[in-house]
């Protein structure tokens, strides 16, 4: 039975073919951003003052529909930087997430933090696009690629100077990875095929990873206590998107998340959200 992930991947392959026909890789390589130095994602996520946050710019998602109608990625990215985000993730998938490469370029010009192209990368051409539009790193999803394709894309990204956030959903997906090639690994607590969320996914994967790998928890964080739970399970960073983009002031929401997570870690007890924070209420989802 076809899943939403299958449909997204089919749409992506078709779009890549169309874009390559219009703009060959050689033309992308003539863009100035393609030759600019890149910032290290792994280095940015190793923070001595507690877990780092990759704050996400996105307009919509298949599960949520339109999240933010008035969407200005550069403004959001600047607000995230002011709230001490460690890196910015930018959704560029156009059909299901209403993103674009132009959003990536706008964010690159707005901030001097590592910027991740978050998309469903299935072809080396997309890596060239990412570099040409200012990305420092890309997302590679293990569930979307066979092991050989994933290894090839990891190698190609490294040759282009791009960092990689490798995403898995369960321990079995690690078997297909050469962990010697991985610097940053994210566990998406949401299964992209069923959209079921289970924080235990990260708890099962993180302890099996070599210490040198930066661990990123993605999706399903509903309270500061959840964030603290994942930090205690080994998370070095959290990728947070939907919750922040729902708030009137995404930067303020990020500052609240960081503060309340720090309090939860210090106290060992659940923390209730401040009035109007939109963060730590029991029903609020943060990714």
Q: Catalytic site residues?
A: 56, 58, 118, 167, 188, 218-219
Sign of CA dihedral 92, 68, 256, 112: positive
Inter-residue contact 26 to 129 (CB < 8 Å): no
DSSP 221-279: --SHHHHHHHHHTT-SEEEE-HHHHHSS-HHHHHHHHHHHHHHHHHHSS--PPPTT--S
Distance CA 117, CA 119 (A): 6
Inter-residue contact 272 to 223 (CB < 8 Å): no
Distance CA 159, CA 141 (A): 19
3-class SS of residue 88: strand
3-class SS of residue 132: helix
Distance CA 27, CA 74 (A): 25
- What residues contact 123, with CB distance under 8 A and at least 6 apart? 13, 16
């Amino acid at each position: 039975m076809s899943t939403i992930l299958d449909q997204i991947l089919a749409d992506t392959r078709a779009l890549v073919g169309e874009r390559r026909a219009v703009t060959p890789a050689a033309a992308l390589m003539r863009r100035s951003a393609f030759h600019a130095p890149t910032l290290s994602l792994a280095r940015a996520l190793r923070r001595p003052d507690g877990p780092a946050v990759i704050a996400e710019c996105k307009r919509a998602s298949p599960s949520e529909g339109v999240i933010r109608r008035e969407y200005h990625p550069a403004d959001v990215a600047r607000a995230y930087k002011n709230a001490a985000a460690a890196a910015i993730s930018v959704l560029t998938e156009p059909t299901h997430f209403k993103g674009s490469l132009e959003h990536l370029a706008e964010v690159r010009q707005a901030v001097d933090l590592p910027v991740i192209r978050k998309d469903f990368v299935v072809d080396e051409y997309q890596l060239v696009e990412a570099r040409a539009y200012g990305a420092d790193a890309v997302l590679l999803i293990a569930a979307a690629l066979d092991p050989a394709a994933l290894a090839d894309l990891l190698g190609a990204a490294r040759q282009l100077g791009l960092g990689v956030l490798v995403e898995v959903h369960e321990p079995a997906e690690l078997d297909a990875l050469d962990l010697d090639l991985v610097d940053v690994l994210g566990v998406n607590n949401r299964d992209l095929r069923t959209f079921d969320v289970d924080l235990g996914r990260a708890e099962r994967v993180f302890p099996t990873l070599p210490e040198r790998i930066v661990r990123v928890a993605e999706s399903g964080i509903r309270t500061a206590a959840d964030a603290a739970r994942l930090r205690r399970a080994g998370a070095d960073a959290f990728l947070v998107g939907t919750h922040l983009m729902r708030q009137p002031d995404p930067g303020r929401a990020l500052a609240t998340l960081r503060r309340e997570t720090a309090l939860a870690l210090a106290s060992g007890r659940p923390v209730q959200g401040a009035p109007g924070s939109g963060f730590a209420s029991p029903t609020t989802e943060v990714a």
